[in-house]
Amino acid sequence: MPENLIAPFWDDLDLDGAPAIYWWEDGERFVVQYERVSRFSAFADLTFQVQLFADGRIRFLYHRMNGVRDSATIGIQNGDRSEGILASYNEEYARDGLAIEFGRVPAWLQTAASSGTLPAGGAFYRPATRSARALDAREYRAL
């Protein structure tokens, strides 16, 4: 797997013909949109976005995911390949309306476990500790 990987739908995509890739930025995020792309070996009509935010968050948005989509990898990986987050590998995970967001855990929240596997539809509860020591002195409100 390549270093510094951002993989919203890493597969053999076919960009010939009508499909297009657009990008824009609005001061708060950089957006790349893959519009009506297909696959080399099988039919697909795929429209999805990657949004990169200044605070480090990465969001994948899936609009139209028609056709064969069971061989893609979805996830991210750091520069030295020592850490990554895999959302999906070789399964029909990406679907219309799906959104995936990757971000950092806030400095004020600590959890005991730093990694693990959660099966589809499963749940895992772990204790969390909250601390205001790392926060600036000001008023904060919970939503």
Q: What pLDDT shows up at residue 107?
A: 67
Quick: pLDDT tens for 87-114.
999 999 999 999 999 987 776 667 766 6
First to last CA, the chain: 39
Residue 116 near residue 124 (C-beta atoms within 8 A): yes
List Cβ<8 Å contacts ≥24 apart for 70-74: 71/11, 71/12, 72/7, 72/9, 72/10, 72/11, 73/1, 73/7, 73/10, 73/11, 74/7, 74/8, 74/9, 74/10, 74/100
Q: What pLDDT shows up at residue 20?
A: 86
Interval 35-41 mean pLDDT: 89
Name the average pLDDT for the chain. 85
Quick: pLDDT tens for 46-75.
999 999 999 889 999 999 999 989 999 999
